[in-house]
């Protein structure tokens, strides 16, 4: 017995406004539906992304009046397809935005949302400084989307570097772990593939990561290489660097099979950190 699910990642380019972001995403979404995809995954800041010096400055709007969001909900309803908006910029209450992802069902209804927990505050070099927390308010709650097709744990971009989040989502029943991203080209070249594969292997879960590709208006560049990875850590599809679409039919029964072969999620043992490693030397 198998549990097949046809999924697709839309690998879009960062766009400076919501209108151009829609013009980028909708043709790919139609292509995916025509190819039989039952569930579509979009990147981080799929509703638009630009930068202002070291800060992200995506076009934002209130959650109830977000043009990109509303149009994608309408698309899901018209085409009877499940849709994960990796994230869009939503106006917050403290003057900052919220980096928020949404799960939309095949009738256009919102079934869940997730606010990115870990902020991308790093300095890659003297000239490459990123301070997401200066303009983005972080979330504090992990989220699993319960859908009729699969249980989906939602993370976003920099969350990929925090394996305990993925482990907790998997231990709480997620079958697919998603990490929509606008990963920088520099960090992507060094870490993107190995981190995604590691999260799949550690959790014995599918990892689906739609990533934006190409230059960011205002400065910077995203890595692309959207990925679909099975619970054994094998890459089923890789989007490369061009905008487009990747698609695969996954078998959700592989989750239980992989967990049975390597039951690491159920093999935790308590331990303490010895402050004096020489103390117990005979």
Q: What is the CATH number of the domain that holds 132?
A: 3.60.110.10
Residue for token pair 């099975």: 230
C-alpha dist (Å) from residue 255 to 162, 193, 226, 248 = 21, 20, 21, 16
Is 181 within the bounds of a domain?
A: yes
Is 104 within the bounds of a domain?
A: yes
Is 48 within the bounds of a domain?
A: yes
Alpha-carbon dihedral angle through residues 225, 67, 151, 99, given to the nearest 10 degrees: 70
- Structurally, how many domains does the chain consist of? 1
Catalytic, 128? Answer no
Is 137 within the bounds of a domain?
A: yes
Question: Residue 121 has what pLDDT?
Answer: 78
Question: Residue 39 has what pLDDT?
Answer: 98
Is 269 within the bounds of a domain?
A: no
Q: Which of 9, 24, 38, 44 is catalytic?
A: 44
Return d(Cα 228, Cα 210) in angstroms, integer.
8
Is 20 within the bounds of a domain?
A: yes
Residues of the chain whose pLDDT is less than 70? 1, 126-129, 277-282
Is 88 within the bounds of a domain?
A: yes
138: containing domain: 4-264
Q: Which of 38, 46, 132, 157 is catalytic?
A: 157
Q: Which of 24, 46, 116, 175 is catalytic?
A: 116
Return d(Cα 81, Cα 89) in angstroms, integer.
23
Query: Facing residues of 131 across strands?
Result: 121
Catalytic, 157? Answer yes
Catalytic, 116? Answer yes
Question: Residue 127 has what pLDDT?
Answer: 66
Question: Residue 122 has what pLDDT?
Answer: 74
Is 13 within the bounds of a domain?
A: yes
């Amino acid at each position: 017995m198998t549990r097949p699910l046809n999924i697709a990642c839309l690998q879009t380019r960062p766009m400076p406004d919501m209108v151009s972001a829609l013009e980028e995403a909708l043709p790919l979404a139609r292509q995916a539906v025509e190819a039989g995809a039952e569930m579509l995954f979009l990147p981080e800041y799929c509703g638009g992304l630009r930068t202002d010096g070291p800060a992200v400055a995506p076009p934002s709007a209130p959650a109830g009046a977000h043009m990109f969001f509303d149009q994608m909900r309408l698309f899901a309803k018209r085409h009877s397809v499940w849709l994960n908006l990796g994230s869009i910029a939503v106006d917050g209450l403290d003057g900052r935005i919220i980096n928020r992802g949404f799960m939309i069902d095949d009738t256009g209804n919102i079934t869940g949302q997730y606010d990115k927990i870990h902020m991308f505050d790093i300095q890659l070099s003297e000239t490459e400084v990123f301070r997401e927390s200066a303009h983005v308010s972080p979330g504090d709650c992990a989220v699993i989307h319960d859908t009729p097709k699969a249980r989906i744990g939602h993370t976003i971009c920099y969350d990929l570097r925090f394996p305990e989040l993925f482990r907790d989502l998997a231990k709480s029943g997620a079958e697919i772990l998603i990490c929509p991203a606008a990963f920088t080209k520099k960090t992507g070249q060094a870490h993107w593939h190995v981190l995604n594969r590691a999260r799949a292997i550690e959790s014995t879960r599918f990892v689906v990561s739609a990533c934006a590709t190409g230059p960011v208006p205002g400065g910077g560049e995203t890595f692309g290489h959207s990925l679909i990875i099975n619970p054994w850590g094998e890459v089923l599809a890789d989007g490369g660097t061009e905008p487009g679409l990747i698609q695969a039919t996954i078998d959700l029964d592989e989750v239980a099979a992989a967990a049975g072969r390597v039951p690491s999620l159920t093999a935790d043992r308590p331990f303490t950190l010895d402050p004096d490693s020489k103390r117990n030397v005979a």
